Chains A and B, each alone.
Chain A
Amino acid sequence: MQHENVPEDRKDCAAGIKAKLGLWMFLVYTLVYAGFIAVTVFAPDVMGTDIGNINMAIFYGLFLIVFAIILAFIYNFICARCEKKMNVEDETEGAE
């Protein structure tokens, strides 16, 4: 197994924008998660509603898992683009 020897501690110019993006995406997921809790607690009958073969409880639960995976990929895609763009710009400016 190949190992990278030295931990990198380079300056990350995209850190600020990634932190902001992370907070927004965290807020979106938190709202969807809070919705699940709220429906379960305050309208439990809704969780028994049929949705095809399954019911709302199973559907919402599976959706929360799949949604988390999708959001994670979107977040990584945007972060990687920001890192590529901003850190390259920074290196170019530094070189000048």
Chain B
Amino acid sequence: MNYQPSIWAIIIFFSFVAFVLLISRYFAKRSQSTKGFYTAGGSIPWVVNGIAFAGDYLSAASFLGICGMIAFYGFDGFLYSIGYLAGWMVALFVVAEPLKRMGKYTFADALDSKFKSKGIKIAAGISTLIVSVFYLIPQMVGAGSLVTPLLGWPHWLGVILVGAVVIIIVATAGMASTTYVQFLKGALLIIFSFILVFLVLNKGLITDEYDTLEVDSAAADGISLVDTNYTVENEWTVGDHLFAAVRSADGDRTVWAYNADKGILEETLSITNKSDGSVLYNGAPEEEGKFHQVGNLTDIRGVPNTETGAVGPFEFLGIIKESTVVRWDKAIVMDDGDKITVYYQRPTSGKEVLQPGLKFPLDTTKNKLNFISLMLALFFGTAALPHILIRYYTVKNPAAARKSTIVAIVGIGFFYILTLFLGFGSMVGGALDLTNSNMSAPLLANNFSVAIFAIISAIAFATVLGTVSGLLVASSGAVVHDLVGSGKKKMSEKMEVGIGKIAAIGVGGIAIVLGILFKNLNVSYLVGWAFAVAASANLPAIIMVLFWKKTSAKGVIASIIVGLVSAMIIILLSQSTYNDVYHLVDVTAPMPIDNPAIISVPLSFLTLIVVSLMTKKKEDEAKALKNGASAKA
């Protein structure tokens, strides 16, 4: 889609970014020491840390990804909200306090507190880096998606902008600055999302219709139209659907879908990739803006051309349930060497939209396993995300860690309830860009006013900035404390912070490149992968170290490696990666499922148990021997 930037949007956006950089500069003086840089000296009040948790967690995946997925697939997008929040129960009940008690800078400290094993530190450090990179990709994709409509810049420039700003934030100020950026942004995101939901409900629901052309006859020799100003030039059949290229009297050539029941051609949206490399949007260059936003109801409780006025939240959902929503499907046709992607209307009953099954159909055993696996990853992934876990070290004690988790749960839970209305509001309120499912919530704001759009986009951009900052601090901590720090040579604090900053710049650079490469994927879908890798590699080790006395160091190392490798192999060899990342459309992938958690999490637990049982005795004997030798010495 072609987006026109507004001066208001640009002013508000850059003011926000400048403010974030000022905060960063202000807190730079607190980050001279290692403790200051990585944990803000353990001095953050628990309320601030709780909202910052929400800021960390309500990343691009939540605001852009979930809202977009609900807008495109209805209830199935809300499954992410449910799963993401449920994951906090694991964090609160199982992980928060013990982890704070046992750790210092990174979750590897907690894992290693009993064993003093370099192997654990290295394995946990590598796992942190890989999970962080998986989580960074969707944040960068989201940043690029936001900058395009806001500033009119290309996607790649948005990714580079966010990368550069975040590297400045992290390299100058570390965790204190990251925390206050997250606090500010988490609070603003929740407040403005609430305002947006209020506007959606206040406006109520309105029906809308797209253009049609009346068909005179649809015989075997082709379609002819009643209006002689239009001529059918070409026809294609894809499955049950018949599409026609129609030339109008003023020369425009557009694609239409034949509706046999009504005897009409229905408007579609199309993107033509011409053989000479040029691209047309609805038959015209992108800057003519003919590829417009969509998303509407065709009737409200069976009545066309009507509107409801202001509605309550449950009434809003109830009306959608009893109305007809226009969703859009995609087909690809070839037209004399040109590839045309046609987005055609698919009226769907509201009842169907409010039920599971549109994104994750549960018709086969494989699909059921995929669904269970996704829900498992979301549940167990949260308490294993490195940038979430390091936040437990920024407060003073375990009770503060618990309380800040509860503040986070309240804020995040409230926000996730709002996603339901933001998503469905976009779906029926003309806020869908069919080429980018991540843009629904900002476009919904744009439907009300450019100022709200600019504020929401600036907050969403800060969302990305904050989350990426947190991830870079976590990655940097893993490099300094777990990888480099596990060596024999003791480093000075200045050196530690210096290496950490270089690591942050390096990981940030990798994230920029990957963010540009993964441009077209839904960010929540990508985050699902990060959760699966974290749940597989980190959580079994964390839980077993905390609650199983027979856990051995080798068991922990083996569990992390097996969880990490198995999860990554399944993701990289899954059908969705083959189709969406490698673009191998007609190739069957070797892995039967897309989400690895249902295999990799149990495998990681099992590995830890088996290896621990095999090695615990030996490790205990070696430890006793060492202790005896030290006592004698």
Contact = CB atoms under 8 A, between A and B. Distances in A.
Interface in B392-415: 395-399, 402-403, 405-406, 409-410, 413
A68 B413 contact: yes
B406 A76 contact: yes
Interface residues of B, number: 55
A91 interface: no
A13 interface: no
A88 interface: no
Given A4-B43, A12-B101, A65 B416 contact: yes
Contact of A76 (B318, B396, B402): B402
Interface string A13-27: 001001100110110
B409 A72 contact: yes
Contacts of A18: 97
A15 B101 contact: yes
Contacts of B357: 44
A13 B313 CA distance: 46
B44 A15 contact: no
A80 B403 CA distance: 10
B354 A7 contact: no
Interface in A27-69: 29-30, 33, 36-37, 40-41, 44, 47-48, 50, 52-55, 57-58, 61-62, 64-66, 68-69
A22 B93 contact: yes
B75 A57 contact: yes
Nearest 3 Cβ contacts at the A-B interface:
A53-B318, A7-B42, A26-B93
B89 interface: yes
A55 to B, nearest CB: 5
A29 B402 contact: no
B89 A79 contact: no
Given A15-B97, A53-B318, A53-B321, A83 B399 contact: yes
B531 interface: no
B27 to A, nearest CB: 10
B506 interface: no
8 contacts: A3-B44, A15-B398, A29-B93, A44-B357, A57-B355, A65-B416, A75-B92, A76-B406
B359 interface: no
Nearest to B403: A76
A92 interface: no
A40 B371 contact: yes
A3 B41 CA distance: 10
Given A3-B44, A65-B417, A55 B355 contact: yes
Contacts of A26: 89-90, 93-94
B86 A29 contact: yes
A18 to B, nearest CB: 6
A55 B402 CA distance: 34
Interface of B: 41-45, 48, 75, 78-79, 81-82, 85-86, 88-90, 92-94, 97-98, 101, 180, 314-315, 317-318, 321, 351, 354-357, 362, 368, 371-372, 375, 379, 395-399, 402-403, 405-406, 409-410, 413, 416-417, 420, 547
Which range contains the number of A residues in contact with the other chain?
35 or more
A65 B42 contact: no
Contact of A19 (B85, B98, B403): B98
Nearest to B95: A22
B370 to A, nearest CB: 10
B94 A5 contact: no
B314 A53 contact: yes
A12 B321 CA distance: 51
Contacts of B355: 44, 47-48, 55, 57
A93 interface: no
A18 B121 CA distance: 28
A44 B44 CA distance: 45
A54 B316 CA distance: 9
Contacts of B402: 75-76, 79
Contacts of B101: 12, 15
A52 B314 contact: yes
Given A9-B397, A58-B420, A3 B351 contact: no
A96 interface: no
A68 B42 CA distance: 27
A16 to B, nearest CB: 11
Given A5-B43, A65-B85, A72-B410, A41 B93 contact: no
A69 B410 contact: yes
A32 to B, nearest CB: 9
B543 to A, nearest CB: 10
A25 to B, nearest CB: 5
A22 B97 CA distance: 10
A22 B362 CA distance: 33
B58 to A, nearest CB: 14
Contacts of B371: 37, 40-41
A4 to B, nearest CB: 5
A30 B93 CA distance: 11
B180 to A, nearest CB: 8
Contact of B93 (A4, A9, A23, A62): A23
A57 B354 contact: yes
Contacts of B413: 65-66, 68-69
A3 B48 CA distance: 11
Contacts of A72: 88-89, 92, 405-406, 409-410
A47 B362 CA distance: 13
A57 to B, nearest CB: 5
B106 to A, nearest CB: 15
Given A53-B315, A76-B403, 20 more contacts: A3-B43, A4-B45, A7-B397, A12-B399, A15-B97, A22-B92, A41-B371, A44-B355, A48-B355, A54-B354, A61-B78, A61-B82, A62-B420, A65-B416, A68-B86, A68-B409, A73-B406, A75-B92, A75-B406, A76-B406
Given A25-B93, A58-B75, A73-B406, A41 B368 contact: yes
B409 A40 contact: no
B148 to A, nearest CB: 31
Contact of A68 (B79, B88, B399): B88
A48 B78 CA distance: 15
Given A33-B86, A69-B413, A44 B317 contact: no
A79 B86 contact: no
B94 A8 contact: no
Nearest to B75: A57
Contact of B317 (A40, A58, A66): A58
Listed residue (B93, B398, B402, B410) with the most chain A CB atoms within 10 angstroms of its CB: B93
Given A12-B398, A72-B410, A55 B351 contact: yes
